[in-house]
């Protein structure tokens, strides 16, 4: 197990956006200590955020982002948890695990602490099955398999791009639902991991999310949100719609289910309503758009898919609001940065030093 953890640690960066403090890391210490952490400090860069001792960690604030990205820093949102994108960009690891700073270690029904990151790595390292539904859920799990009637030609599965984990305690509800059900808590531990079928969109939450950065990283851009933008609290949704469309096109998989984290703090529903307001409207047009997106066969990498998607956003969504033109620009700029940071000649560190 120790060897497996060390191997996994060499392949995973944990990316955490925060404006508050990193006290929540204390509870994760036994699980996160082997991993490298990339902390993105949102908000006022002059504030000091204390990193708990002993963690292998680098911390970036807004000044760092401006210095490193220069004139392209505008594509990293400010005062919104989508600033985590900077961490995805500068990582050199195969996998990213990103978690919010109000998420704690959950317990399984036997009362054991759940090692979320190990479960995510397992989800990412076993195949997905997006082309046919398996009624006993993840067929690659111990004690499970493909059921009678599952085509043999599909049993090898496809690589997994995304592992979407869930939340006990405070569920990820929108502001209207929070207002209507202020006391609802998620107490149901559903012991399953499943592939979301091809052609089906889902609401991807960024609280407890892992992905294969090498395979799909370019398509997980959380967009322009927060300060100066007409939309907030839709950063992860935007990334989820985009990444699902790209994953479906590339023939790779998106899983949801285990692991659970314990979500401690419901954000203020009145503030959320204000922040979500535009997104609640726009999603009724955005989802049909994403449901109808068809990417050309020539797009065979996540980068190519994402640039094509940016074109479609500009073409088909600009009539809703000029914001979508700006977003399309940001999407293209994001891919340019991704290529710079991930080319062999100019690594992130080199580029950072030269900026």
Instruction: Quote the least distance from Cβ 292 to a copy of itself, whole Å.
Output: 13
Q: Toward a copy of itself, which CB reaches closer, 145 or 325? A: 145
- With binding defined as CB under 8 A, does residue 323 bind a copy of itself? no
Instruction: Quote the least distance from Cβ 198 to a copy of itself, whole Å.
Output: 8
Exactly one of 172, 214, 329, 340 binds a copy of itself (CB under 8 A); that residue is: 172
Q: Which stretch binds a copy of itself (CB under 8 A): 59-67, 113-121, 230-238, 319-327?
A: 230-238
Exactly one of 122, 198, 213, 249 binds a copy of itself (CB under 8 A); that residue is: 198
Using an 8 Å Cβ cutoff, are 352 and 90 in contact?
yes
**CB-count exposure of residue 201 (10 Å: 0-12, 13-18, 19+):** middle
Residue 164: strand pairing partners: 209, 256
Positive or negative, the CA dihedral 208, 210, 213, 216 is negative
Exactly one of 152, 156, 298, 344 binds a copy of itself (CB under 8 A); that residue is: 152
- Angle, helices 302-317/323-342, rounded to nearest 10 degrees: 170
- With binding defined as CB under 8 A, does residue 262 bind a copy of itself? no
Exactly one of 47, 181, 274, 311 binds a copy of itself (CB under 8 A); that residue is: 181
Q: Kindly state the helix (H) or strand (E) to which residue 312 belongs, with its residue range.
A: helix 302-317
The 8-class DSSP code of residue 194 comes to E
Subset of residues 231 to 260 that bind a copy of itself, contact rule: CB under 8 A: 233-234, 236-237, 240, 256
Exactly one of 144, 320, 351, 352 binds a copy of itself (CB under 8 A); that residue is: 144
Using an 8 Å Cβ cutoff, are 265 and 170 in contact?
yes
Q: CB atoms < 10 A from the CB of 175, how many?
A: 21
How far apart CA 253 and CA 242 sit, in angstroms, is: 13
Q: Toward a copy of itself, which CB reaches closer, 36 or 198? A: 198
- With binding defined as CB under 8 A, does residue 205 bind a copy of itself? yes
Q: CB atoms < 10 A from the CB of 286, how many?
A: 21
Distances (CA, A) of 293 to 33, 221, 308, 317: 41, 17, 10, 12
Alpha helices in 218-268 (DSSP H): 235-250
Exactly one of 77, 134, 163, 342 binds a copy of itself (CB under 8 A); that residue is: 134
Q: Toward a copy of itself, which CB reaches closer, 13 or 236? A: 236
Exactly one of 13, 174, 248, 308 binds a copy of itself (CB under 8 A); that residue is: 174
3-class state of residue 318 by DSSP: coil
- With binding defined as CB under 8 A, does residue 284 bind a copy of itself? yes
- With binding defined as CB under 8 A, does residue 280 bind a copy of itself? yes
Count of residues that bind a copy of itself according to CB under 8 A: 56
- With binding defined as CB under 8 A, does residue 111 bind a copy of itself? no
Peptide bond between residue 263 and the one before it cis (omega within 30 degrees of 0): no
The 8-class DSSP code of residue 188 comes to -
- With binding defined as CB under 8 A, does residue 268 bind a copy of itself? no
Q: Toward a copy of itself, which CB reaches closer, 70 or 176? A: 176
Q: Which stretch binds a copy of itself (CB under 8 A): 50-58, 80-88, 95-103, 193-201?
A: 193-201
Tell me the CB-side half-sphere exposure of residue 160, using CA atoms within 13 A.
26
**CB-count exposure of residue 226 (10 Å: 0-12, 13-18, 19+):** buried
Instruction: Quote the least distance from Cβ 321 to a copy of itself, whole Å.
Output: 18
| Maximal CA-CA distance, the chain | 60
- With binding defined as CB under 8 A, does residue 187 bind a copy of itself? yes
Chain residues that interact with a copy of itself, rule: CB under 8 A: 109, 132-137, 143-153, 164, 166, 171-174, 177, 181, 184-192, 196-205, 233-234, 236-237, 240, 256, 276, 280, 283-284, 287
């Amino acid at each position: 197990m120790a060897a497996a953890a060390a191997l996994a640690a060499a392949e995973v960066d944990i990316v955490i956006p925060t404006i508050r403090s990193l006290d929540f890391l204390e509870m994760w210490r036994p699980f996160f200590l082997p991993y490298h952490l990339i902390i993105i400090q949102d908000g006022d860069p002059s504030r000091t955020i204390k990193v708990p001792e002993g963690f292998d960690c680098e911390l970036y604030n807004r000044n760092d982002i401006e210095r490193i990205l220069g004139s392209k820093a505008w594509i990293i949102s400010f005062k919104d948890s989508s600033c985590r994108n900077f961490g995805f960009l500068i990582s050199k690891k195969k996998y990213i695990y990103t978690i919010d700073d109000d998420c704690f270690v959950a317990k399984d029904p036997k009362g054991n602490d759940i090692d979320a990151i190990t479960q995510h790595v397992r989800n990412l390292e076993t195949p997905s099955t997006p082309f046919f539904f398996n009624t006993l859920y993840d067929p690659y799990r111990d004690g499970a398999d493909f059921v009678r009637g599952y085509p043999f030609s599909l049993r090898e599965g496809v690589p997994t791009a995304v592992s979407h984990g869930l939340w006990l305690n405070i569920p990820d509800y929108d502001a209207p639902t929070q207002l209507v059900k202020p006391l609802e808590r998620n107490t149901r531990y559903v012991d399953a991991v499943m592939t979301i079928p091809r052609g089906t969109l889902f609401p991807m939450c960024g609280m407890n999310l892992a992905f294969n950065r090498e395979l799909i990283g370019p398509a997980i851009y959380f967009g322009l949100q927060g300060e100066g933008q007409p939309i907030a609290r839709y950063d992860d949704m935007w990334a989820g719609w985009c990444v699902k469309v790209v994953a479906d096109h590339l023939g790779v998989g998106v899983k949801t289910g285990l692991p659970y984290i314990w979500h401690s703090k419901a954000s203020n529903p009145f503030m959320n309503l204000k922040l979500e307001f535009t997104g609640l409207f726009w999603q009724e047009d955005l989802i049909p758009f994403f449901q109808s997106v068809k990417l050309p066969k020539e797009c065979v990498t996540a980068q190519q898919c994402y640039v094509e998607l940016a074109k479609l956003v500009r073409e088909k969504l600009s009539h809703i609001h000029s914001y979508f033109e700006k977003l399309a620009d940001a999407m293209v700029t994001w891919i340019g940065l991704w290529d710079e940071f991930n080319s062999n000649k100019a690594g992130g560190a080199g580029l950072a030093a030269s900026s």
